[in-house]
Amino acid sequence: MNPLTKVKLINELNEREVQLGVSDEVSWHSEYKDSAWIFLGGLPYELTEGDIICVFSQTPFKTAPVAWLVWFSG
């Protein structure tokens, strides 16, 4: 499945949960709320684990998506 399609489906699921008033305890988010794992997709294959660690170590996590966008867009 296309990654953008997956994102769209997850957003639709989130919206349905909001509309139905699903509580946090039974939402799919509760399973992952304490997880330290993040997903990074669409990265160039040339990048090494060290490159990724270097970028994240220099950038506060709350601004990391902006830093990645700037870094990959030139």
Q: Comparing 62 with 44, which gets the higher pLDDT? A: 44
Q: What is the mean pLDDT of residues 3-28?
A: 87
CA dihedral 27, 29, 30, 32 (to 10 degrees): 150
The burial of 17, by beta-carbon neighbours within 10 Å (0-12 exposed, 13-18 middle, 19 or more buried), is given as middle
The overall average pLDDT reported for the chain is 76
User: Quick count: other Cβ atoms within 10 Å of Cβ 35?
Assistant: 7
The burial of 56, by beta-carbon neighbours within 10 Å (0-12 exposed, 13-18 middle, 19 or more buried), is given as middle
- Give the per-residue pLDDT at 65: 52
